[in-house]
Amino acid sequence: MSYEIRSMWDDDLEECARVIREGFLTVAKDFGLTQENCPTNGAFIQKERLAAEKEKGHMMYGMMDGKKIIGYMQLEKNTKELYFLQKLVVLPEYRHKGLGKKLLNYAKELVKGLGGSRISISIIEENKVLKNWYIAYGFTPTGTRKFEHLPFTVGFMEITI
């Protein structure tokens, strides 16, 4: 099966929000995240937040299976060299097919093409499966931080490309 990655348009944002919610919901359930204890988690995202982030210049990409969005990722430029990779997600029924890696490789090529040399991510530090997945693809842990408003520790990771 051939999947294409393309920029997301304003008309796609409602569907992007749905894909993010569905994809993040599995992790939210695993870690007991709710709208009350973690309202900013992707499992609860709405189109309006994506629209605001797009307005701020965040770059949004969807992985397509025909006309259906099955994966998503977002890049935010921090400095000339550093980009933040956010909301990388693949719908549960499409996982374990290498699609997350394809999105990650696409992000690396985009950042390289934009003159960047590093990508940073933040994850739930306690999510060892996800942390190990990123490590397997070259990311290095750079630190952790406990935020008072979050029910988990945030782990920061980075890759030089």
| Model pLDDT for residues 110-159, shown as the tens digit of each residue | 999 999 999 999 999 999 999 999 999 999 999 999 999 999 999 999 99
Rounded Cα distance, 131 and 127, in Å: 6
DSSP string for residues in 75-140: EEE-SSSEEEEEEEEE-GGG-SSSHHHHHHHHHHHHHHHTT--EEEEEEETT-HHHHHHHHHTT-E
Over residues 6-63, the pLDDT tens digits come to 999 999 999 999 999 999 999 999 999 999 999 999 999 999 999 999 999 999 999 9
Specify the residue for token string 């490789």.
Answer: 105
Say if pTM beats, i.e. exceeds, 0.85: yes
Number of domains, the chain: 1
Measured distance CA(61)–CA(108) in Å, rounded: 13
- Is residue 1's pLDDT more than 80? no
Instruction: List the domain range (segments joined by +) for residue 144.
Output: 4-160
- Looking at residue 52, which CATH number applies to its domain? 3.40.630.30
